[in-house]
Structure 1
Amino acid sequence: MEYLPLRDYALIGNDDRCALVSRHGSIDWCCFPHLESPSVFARILDADHGGQFAVYPTADHESNHCYADRTNVLKTTFETERGQATVTDFMPIRAGGMPSDERFQQAIYRRLECDRGSIELRLEFEPRFDYARREATLEPTADGVRATSSDEPAGDDRAEATDREADTGSEQLHLIGDLEFAIDETEPSATGTVSLTAGERCWVGVQYGGREPMASIDRQATLDETKRYWREWVGSRDEVPAPMPERWHEMVVRSELLLKLLIHHETGAIPAAATTSIPEAIGEPRTWDYRYNWIRDAKFTVQALHDTGHRQEARDYFDWFADIARRDPAKIQPLYGLHGEEHIEEHTLEHLSGYRNTGPVRIGNGAAPQRQLDAYGTIVQAIYETIKFDEDIPLDSDDCDAICDIVSYVCRHWDERDAGIWEFRDERRHFLHSKLLCWVALDRGIALATENDFEAPLEEWRENRAALRETIEDRGFSENANSFVQHFETETAIDATALLIPIYEFLPPEDDRVQATIDTVLEQLTTDDGLVVRFVDSDIRQDEKKAFFLCSFWLIDALVLSNRLERARKYFENVLEYASPLGLYSEKVAPEDGTLLGNFPQAFSHLGLINSVTYLTRAIEADGEVTPTDFDPENAETLFRRGDPPEL
């Protein structure tokens, strides 16, 4: 079987579970009962053995898909010579009059409907439990097929079971539908066909863990309620806010909906992506599990959630990282499980070939125990922005103590080496980005202490802030490169993280060194279309050829702050063209042909898009004359100029 390009996939889901559905009608990635759980379908990581749940016409056909307006409900249209059918895919939302049992959401519903003429559709159900490590047994039931996993991982040469949820006992996945199924025990799989004429429809779906309640509920009412939920959550957007172009508006709404799919409803945590091990470049072993929450995302997440008016989600996210902040600063990790888990081991699944035969396939993430000093700055900055954005979130004594502990820890350790934002696994350096974020921790910590009148060793903090500023300016800028550089031990390595210097207000945009750095990034890291690679001329790793979407958005933001609005707008319009047809971004893209790469969809990329729209829109309103203070939380209104979102 062939591997499909990432741009052929859509994401559906609810609260804390997702599935990737291809333009050809196959569900090729899905984990149950949660996003971070082991997969039940993983064809995207092994086209022959990963498992899928597919619906498609038996005759030659063309296919396309789109989301129902302002929802995460997917519609895939198949067209043959004799007719046309639409398959509507969604995961149900526990809202309104829907069942309160969480099992209700551990399901995928598929409505098959003939739009015109006649059409025959084939269904293929190939469950592969625990990343295809456990054998599945299929047996018929009164309304479909029950798949049961073995109690233990199959195969002596396969990776050891991890501590995720499927490691004890067997699992069940129920296929339920309005057609008859034939079971092939050798595969194992179940298949079926249905013939429909114009106006006829039938339903199929899978329920994890048990037959109820999917077998007994009103499926059409569930679809209607799910659509209503998504549209109410997004809010009324009948008119595009001036002066925002309609295309930007559409992309922001899609980014909002994508982020909501990833937000864990119990904790407010947001994983970096819905998948694991989609390679950063085909044929190269940089394959990682991104189903974790990275601390470094906090500032950009808070900003994006506020700018789109989602105060409740911003508060939930604040509660999540504020809990992390209260821990011993020496033990704060760069990433956590979605329930705050600290113990994260990385395992390789040797039995899976990987996307487009690029391995290894990894579960868990070995970067969890790394030391990344930038985490402290992102935490303090996120706290600072959150309480500025939302006056209803006061700092309590525990928060104040946590801020003091973190900032004082930074005072003692900012001059040490770390792994950096790009998580180099075998190298430690004095990374510019890490030092910049240490300065942010000190600067915002001082602001928080003075503005909220809590006791803190302000003299010590100010002395360290001044020393750190002097160090960054002295050792971080290279006269030879005429740019801020990747780390203090280089004169030549250019890194896109230097674009954050004016964004974090370390130096004003008009500073000659800032402008020289932007010019160097434009010359050495940026394509004609505005795509930006992460770094070049580094002594740590060879130059990257694939562009990192978030870095492109950083460049756009830095250009806006520099009042280079024409170029910023041009680059933004160009980067929009590299999204998938459904408006989804991966982590990276190949500039030469637009191939999407890396885990998909990528939260960081969509956060960057929302924030860049904010910068651009306000710059257009201000006739291109903006400064960092225009984006200070005290001065900024929400992007859509609306009140609180509906209560959920």
Structure 2
Amino acid sequence: MQYKRLTEYGAIGDGNTVALVGRDGSIDWCPLPHVESPSVFAAILDADRGGRFSVQPTRSFESIQRYRDRTNVLETTFRTADGSATVTDFMPVAEATGSADRPPAIYRRLECDDGPLEFTVSFEPRFDYARDVPAVEPTSDGVVAIGDDERAVLTSDVPLEPTAEGHGGSATATLEAGERRWLVLGYGEAIPLEPSRHREVLDDVVDYWRGWSHDCDGADCPIGGPWHELAVRSSLVLKLLIHRGTGAVCAAPTTSLPEDLGGVRNWDYRFNWIRDAAFTVQALAELGHLAEARSYFQLCLDHCRGHDPADIPPVYGLHGGDDLEERTLDHLEGYRGSAPVRVGNAARQQRQLDVYGELILAIYESVRYGEAVTTDDWAVMRGLIDAVCEDWDRPDASIWEPRNDPQQYVYSKVMCWAALDRGIKLADAADDVSAPLERWRTCREDVREAILERGYSERTDSFVRSFGDETLDAANLLVPVVGLLPPDDARVQCTIDATIDRLATSDGLVRRYEGDDGLPGETSPFIVCSFWLVTALALAGRTDEARDRFESILEYASPLGVFAEGIDPETGEQRGNVPQAYSHIGLINSVLYLADAGDSNRERRAPLGFDQWTADERSSAEIVRQPTDTERRNTQ
């Protein structure tokens, strides 16, 4: 069987897991019961052995996908010579249905718009990343797949039968115009076949997503302008990646989709990276999703409580676990032959000093949006900032997690400066907290001096990847975003120009860095880096350039407005895990800065978390408070 382009997939989810549904009606990826669990369908990683669940016309067809407006309910419409039909795919969300105790489920409604039209259903579950091929047996209204330790039950008003070899289920049915059929997959136990109830669940899920998604009357909207709907779609993608139980943001719901087709840069992204925190908080808070923003920053603090401040892991399991051991699944061939397929992520063991800045920035942003930190939180923050004072000049792996020796990465130093700067600002604003401010201020100046003297190359006329180096790093585009230097500083402008000259393609795409990273092959241009360039240009007042590059990037979006991690510069195909949280965070924040730059009546957006409270705001803001009894119990 052939592999589909990544732009041919839509994503559905329930806050616990995410499934990828192809434009051909095939669910080719779904881990259950959680996104970090082993897969039940993994045809995207092995087209022959991975397993799938497809619903499609028997005859040749064309198809398109769309989301129902302001929802994560996916519709795939098929057209054949005989007629047309639509498959509606969704997963029940506990907050919508009041059914938190129900098993995870995938609902698929098949509706014939113009018929008669013959459809084929193929149900091929493969548990435990296709290492457990289940026996499939008939039930009164469907089939059940029974593995070593798992069960999946498919109920339907389409007559399903086990396949001849007994490891799948199939059916063929002809629908007349106006007819509907339901297929409901329950993990662990059956979902009773009740079409009227299924329609109610669909209505509840649609109402939930529309009630959650950003909506405005256009006045003073932070993302007002031509890209409003695209930014709303990105927020809905982010919501799919937020674990409903813990608030953790999954970097992507897939594993091992390659950065370099046929290469080894294939990673498992089904975990929570702290570095996503600051930009996630800003994006969600600006769109009005304050509960998710607050929950996420508190989760990041909770992660830090159980660790020595000098040894904070950069990545966590979505449930807070630390079993991220990296392993390979040699029985799977990988997407389009890109092996190895990996689960787990060895970045857990790396030292990445930039996470300190990203965490403190997230806390600072949360306070700006109205969240007070507790005295217990402040104790954690103080420990983190003290650790920065001790360790900022040590080599590390930094943001891009190379597999070679640690270096003195400039971006890590920039984020260490940001941790010190925002910690000082919070302490100044709070007045009544204990902090070694003289030490922090001295260290902040030392870090800044080192960055400007050793991190900027007169020869290259740009900030560079590491001290004493001449290669470039796109992460340095964030220097003005975090406020180390103002956007109109000559060194910022020259870094933007050098990035365009040496890391950018002619159509707006930006590679992450130059130089060795300890791995063979090449990485594709990163979408988030491309959005960083847009943001830096918008901040620098180069608005026309920013808009042009932004529009160029959007041409690579899927028809659904979804982005993976990178873009193959030769073919224009998306690469890497999909959908990618960082890409969509970058899109939202670029729209925020572009909206400000394009509105002469709007106050220009300050760099991330850089604006200080006015005297009135400071007197009225609660920066640090005592924890409640519940909070004390939860942190013990």
TM-score when normalising by structure 1: 0.91
Is 1:349 equivalent to 2:329 in the alignment?
A: yes
List gaps (5 residues or longer) in structure 1: 151-169, 637-648
Tell me, in whole angstroms, the C-alpha distance in 2 between the residues paired with 1:253 and 1:149. 40
Q: State how far apart, in whole Å, the 1-side matches of 2:132 and 2:515 are.
A: 45
Residue aligning to 2:170: 191
Deviations 1:193-226 (A, max 9, x none): 1111111111112100001456687101111111
Q: Deviations over 1:343-399 (max 9, x none)?
A: 321110000000011010011111101110111111111111111112xx2221111
2:142 aligns to what? 144
Residue 53 of structure 1 corresponds to which residue in structure 2? Answer: 53
Q: Find the counterpart in structure 2 of residue 248 from structure 1.
A: 227
Deviations 1:287-307 (A, max 9, x none): 000000001111110110111
8 Å contact from structure 2 (residues 411, 476) kept in 1? yes
Verify the 8 A CA contact 1:55 1:124 in the aligned structure 2.
Answer: yes
Taking the aligned partners of 2:280 and 2:415, their CA distance within structure 1 comes to 16
Residues 560 and 624, structure 1, Cα contact 8 Å, conserved in 2: no
Evaluate the alpha carbon distance shift between residue 240 and residue 41 of structure 1 in structure 2; reply closer, same or farther with a 3 A threshold.
Answer: farther
Query: Do the aligned partners of 1:103 and 1:209 also contact (CA within 8 Å) in 2?
Result: no
SS at match of 1:81: coil
Q: How does 1:382-393 map to 2 (within 5 A)?
A: 382-390=362-370, 393=371
Give the stretch that moved more between structures: 524-533 or 38-47.
524-533
CA distance in 2, matches of 1:519, 1:176: 58
- d(CA) in 2 for partners of 1:398 and 1:630? 25
Structure 2 unaligned spans of 5+: 615-636
In structure 2, what is the Cα distance between the partners aligned to 1:400 and 1:486? 32
Q: Which residue identity does 1:73 align to in structure 2?
A: V
Q: Answer yes or no: is the 8 Å Cα contact 1:112–1:203 preserved in 2.
A: yes
Residues 213 and 198 (structure 1 numbering): CA distance in 2 closer, same or farther, change over 3 Å? closer
Q: What does residue 542 of structure 2 align with?
A: 564
> Of 563, 566, 573, which residue of structure 1 is paired with 2:551?
573
Is 1:86 matched with 2:66? no
Structure 1 residues 291, 8: CA separation in 2 closer, same or farther (over 3 Å shift)? same
The question of whether the paired residues in 2 share the 8 Å contact of 1:502 and 1:628 is answered with: no
**Structure 2 residue aligned with 1:477:** 456
Q: Secondary structure at the match of 1:451?
A: helix
Separation in 1, partners of 2:521, 2:514: 5
- 1:103 is paired with a residue whose SS is coil
Query: Given the superposition, is the C-alpha separation of residues 329 and 244 from structure 1 closer, same or farther in structure 2, using an over 3 Å criterion?
Result: closer
Tell me how far apart the structure 2 counterparts of residues 589 and 88 of structure 1 sit (CA, whole Å). Answer: 29
Quick one: structure 1 residues 207 and 622, their matched pair in 2 at CA, closer, same or farther if it must change by over 3 Å? same
**Shift in CA distance, 543/612, structure 1 to aligned 2, threshold 3 Å:** farther
Match of 1:429 among 407, 411, 426: 407
Instruction: Determine the C-alpha separation between the residues in 2 that align with 1:184 and 1:33.
Output: 25
Is the 2:225–2:595 Cα contact (8 Å) retained in structure 1?
A: no
Match of 1:207 in 2: 186
Partners of 1:127 and 1:472 in 2: CA distance: 53
Does residue 1:100 correspond to 2:99, yes or no?
yes
Kindly indicate whether residue 311 of structure 2 is the aligned counterpart of residue 331 of structure 1. yes
Q: Which position in structure 2 is the counterpart of 1:456?
A: 435
Q: Give the partner amino acid of 1:511.
A: D
User: What is the rounded CA distance, in whole Å, between the counterparts of 1:36 and 1:242 in structure 2?
Assistant: 35
The residue type paired with residue 303 of structure 1 is: Q
Cα pair 2:214 2:232 within 8 Å, conserved: no
Partner AA of 1:53 in structure 2 = F
Paired residue for 2:625? none
Whole-Å separation in 2 of the counterparts to 1:30 and 1:71: 19
Q: Distance in 1 between matches of 2:41 and 2:369?
A: 41
TM superposition shift of 1:633: 6.3
Work out whether 1:381 is the aligned partner of 2:379.
no
Q: Per the alignment, in what secondary structure is the counterpart of residue 426 of structure 2?
A: helix
Q: Does 2:79 correspond to 1:76?
A: no
Structure 1 pair 564/635, CA: closer, same or farther in 2 (3 Å)?
Answer: farther
The Cα of 1:538 is off from its aligned counterpart by 4.8
Distance 2:285 2:605 in 1: 19
* CA distance in structure 2 between the partners assigned to 1:614 and 1:27 by the alignment: 34
Identity %: 50
Give 3-state SS (helix, strand or coil) of 1:277's partner.
coil
The alpha-carbon deviation at position 101 of structure 1 amounts to 3.9
The question of whether the paired residues in 1 share the 8 Å contact of 2:222 and 2:592 is answered with no
Q: 2:225, 2:534 → 1: CA distance?
A: 19
Deviation at 1:541, TM superposition (A): 6.3
Are the structure 2 counterparts of residues 88 and 625 from structure 1 closer, same or farther at C-alpha, using a change threshold of 3 Å? closer
Moved more, 586-595 or 176-185: 176-185
Q: Does 1:312 align with 2:311?
A: no
Q: Is the Cα contact below 8 Å between 2:264 and 2:520 reproduced in 1?
A: no
- How far residue 592 of structure 1 moved from its aligned partner, in angstroms, is 2.6
Q: CA deviation at 1:577?
A: 1.1
Instruction: Quickly say closer, same or farther: Cα 1:631–1:447, change in 2 above 3 A.
Output: closer
DSSP 3-state at the match of 2:331:
coil
How far did residue 187 of structure 1 move? 6.0
1:365 and 2:364 correspond: no
In structure 2, do the counterparts of structure 1 residues 99 and 455 end up closer, same or farther at CA, with 3 Å as the change threshold? closer
SS at match of 1:173: strand
- Give the counterpart of 1:528 among 499, 506, 509: 506
Of residues 568, 592, 601 in structure 1, which corresponds to 2:570? 592
Matched AA of 2:6: L
Secondary structure of 1:140 counterpart: strand
Question: Structure 1: how far apart are the matches of 2:601 and 2:207?
Answer: 38
Structure-2 change in CA distance of 1:190 and 1:541 (3 Å): closer
Instruction: Give the aligned partner of residue 294 of structure 1.
Output: 273
Task: Name the counterpart of 2:391.
Answer: 413
Q: Single out whichever of 286-295 and 317-326 deviates more from structure 2.
A: 317-326
* AA in 1 matched with 2:360: V
Per-residue deviation, 1:117: 2.3
Q: 1:374 is matched by which residue type in structure 2?
A: D
Q: 1:246 to 1:465 in 2, by over 3 A?
A: closer
**Which range moves more in the overlay, 478-487 or 528-537?**
528-537
2 CA distance for matches of 1:240 and 1:452? Answer: 33
- In the alignment, which residue of structure 1 is the partner of 2:606? 628
Contact 2:527 2:567 in 1 (8 A): yes
| Residue 503, structure 1, aligned to residue 501, structure 2 | no
1:530 is paired with a residue whose SS is coil
Cα 1:241–1:25 shift into 2, 3 Å: farther
How many positions carry a matched residue from both structures?
612
RMSD of aligned C-alpha atoms?
A: 2.0
